[in-house]
Amino acid sequence: MGWFTDPNCRVVADGGTFFLEAAELETQVGSADVHAAAQPVVKRMNGIAKLKSSSFRDVELGAGVRELDQGEQRRHVVLAVGTVEARAKVNAVLVKVGDSEPAPPSPGSQQTDAWMRAASGDPDAQEAVDLWSGAHDWSRLYKVYEIVRARADIMKAGWASRAELTLFKRTANHQDAAGSDARHARSRQHPPSSPMRLQEAEALLERILSAWLDTLG
């Protein structure tokens, strides 16, 4: 099953070429405008795909734009073949069309579809998802935490314990715990005796962000 199945935002394969379909592209006029409009959409998709699977690596936009689809005027942006074939073709962001494989899920029915809709309609969700795309460091993870914290009671919702959040914050803030990526260059507090590892922080924020996005769907 594809992770993005909503006709308003999905990736389709046609004859070995991969295309992004998105509602944001339909109002654009020239190819340059279509390509520019696709950039934030792809960034959002990358963030959500990475949230769904931490091993996912970003896909990229190619150079081409296709403007005709089965007699209907719909604009599609080509995705870079290397990145899509290596990552999306194995059922990550891909909806296959015109082959004999099992039918895709109902359009828009996936959890990732709901996350995409949330990120498209909510500026805070969009910022958090954009931060989740690309490489993670302590500062970026802390920003995601701050966005969710401003909108929800993380502990009351049961998404994380006080001890987890305290350790995360103390580690992220202290240069002796988080190194050069720490939020502060100097801290008057002592670093935690057993700092949280970055991978643990990623798992914690992945859980928090996923749970919060679920509430927006």
How much is the average pLDDT of 67-84? Answer: 53
pTM exceeding the 0.75 threshold for the entire prediction: yes
Give the integer Cα–Cα distance in Å for 216 and 3: 18
Q: 84 and 45: one domain?
A: yes
Distances (CA, A) of 19 to 61, 91, 104, 187: 9, 15, 17, 48
19 and 97 belong to one structural domain: yes
Any domain includes 103: yes
From 58, 90, 108, give the residue that closes a domain: 108
In this structure, is residue 117 part of a structural domain?
no
What residues contact 70, with CB distance under 8 A and at least 6 apart? Answer: none
Query: Is residue 122 assigned to a domain?
Result: no
Residue 104 lies in a domain: yes
Do 158 and 73 share a structural domain?
A: no
Q: Which long-range contacts (CB under 8 A, 24 or more apart) does 153-156 make?
A: 154/208
Are residues 24 and 87 part of one domain? yes
Taking alpha carbons only, the member of 92, 82, 90 closest to residue 61 is 82
**Any domain includes 114:** no
Domain count of the fold of the chain:
2
Per-residue model confidence as pLDDT tens digits over 105-118: 666 568 999 999 99
Residue 177 lies in a domain: yes
Structural domain that includes position 84: 5-108
Q: Which residues contact 17 (CB under 8 A, 6 or more apart)?
A: 78, 81
Same domain for 104 and 143, yes or no, is no
Residue 72 binned pLDDT confidence (cut-offs 50, 70, 90) = low
Low-confidence winner among 3-17, 35-49, 92-106 (lowest mean pLDDT): 92-106
Together in a domain, 101 and 152: no
Pair (57, 152) in one structural domain: no
Q: Which residues contact 122 (CB under 8 A, 6 or more apart)?
A: 216
Residue 153 pLDDT exceeds 90: yes
Looking at the structure, tell me whether residues 21 and 94 fall in a common domain.
yes
In a domain, 188, yes or no: yes
Q: Is the pLDDT of residue 90 over 70?
A: no
For residues 42 and 102, state if they share a domain: yes
Tokens of 27: 């109002």
**Is there a single domain that holds both residue 16 and residue 87?**
yes
Query: Is residue 12 located within the same domain as residue 100?
Result: yes
Whether residues 96 and 164 fall in one domain: no
